[in-house]
Amino acid sequence: MTTSRPGERGDLLDPLCPVRQLLDRIGTKWTSMVVKVLAEEAPDEIRFAELRRRIPGISQKMLSVTLQSLVRDGLVARRVEPTVPPAVHYRLTELGLSLEGPLSALRDWAETHMPEIDRSNQLADEPAPVLSPLGEH
């Protein structure tokens, strides 16, 4: 997301507190939604195409790279059935499941309070309020 990862160079002086590292992973555009679907709608396993269907707007490529990242981080397990064509199944690992707690807490907060944040932004966008509105008749 914001701190480098592919380059792997340049973050030599970063504090890199753990939460920052974590946000660099789950903060990418589709990750939180992929985890959510895996947690809430995939009791057992789910296939690539089915997962994609449940995430409106995600492209094949983005789902692919998002899943690869999650697999690499050990949050998601990938199982290939060597048929032709292949069938690939994904599920949360125990580690991934353990993340669901804090993550759903954040989701709840967001659902409750994002409207307030939106309102705050709207206020900031409006032209500066007139102190004594004499100009209006």
Partner DNA sequence: CAGGATCCATTACGATACTG
Partner DNA sequence: CAGTATCGTAATGGATCCTG
- Interface ranges with DNA (CB under 7 A): 1-2, 4-7, 10, 28-30, 47-50, 57-62, 64-65, 67-68, 78, 85-88
Helix (H, G, I), strand (E, B) or coil at 15: coil
Query: By C-beta, is 97 or 137 nearer to a second copy?
Result: 97
Query: By C-beta, is 98 or 120 nearer to DNA?
Result: 120
Query: By C-beta, is 87 or 105 nearer to a second copy?
Result: 105
Structure tokens at 117: 């944040």
Query: By C-beta, is 91 or 135 nearer to a second copy?
Result: 91
Which among 76, 40, 32 has a CA at the least distance from the CA of 58?
A: 32
User: Which residues of the chain form contacts with a second copy (CB under 8 A)?
Assistant: 1-3, 13-15, 17-29, 32-33, 36, 55-57, 72-75, 95, 98-99, 101-103, 105-111, 113-114, 116-117, 119-121, 124
Q: Are 89 and 50 in contact (CB under 8 A)?
A: no
**38 CB burial (10 A radius; 0-12, 13-18, 19+):** buried
DSSP annotation of 93: -
User: What is the spatial distance between Cα 120 and Cα 68, in angstroms, rounded to a whole number?
Assistant: 37
Could you tell me the smallest distance in angstroms from the CB atom of residue 30 to a second copy? 9
79 interface partner picked from DNA, a second copy, none, CB below 5 to 8 A per type: none
Could you tell me the smallest distance in angstroms from the CB atom of residue 134 to a second copy? 25
Find how far residue 95's CA is from the centre of its chain: 16
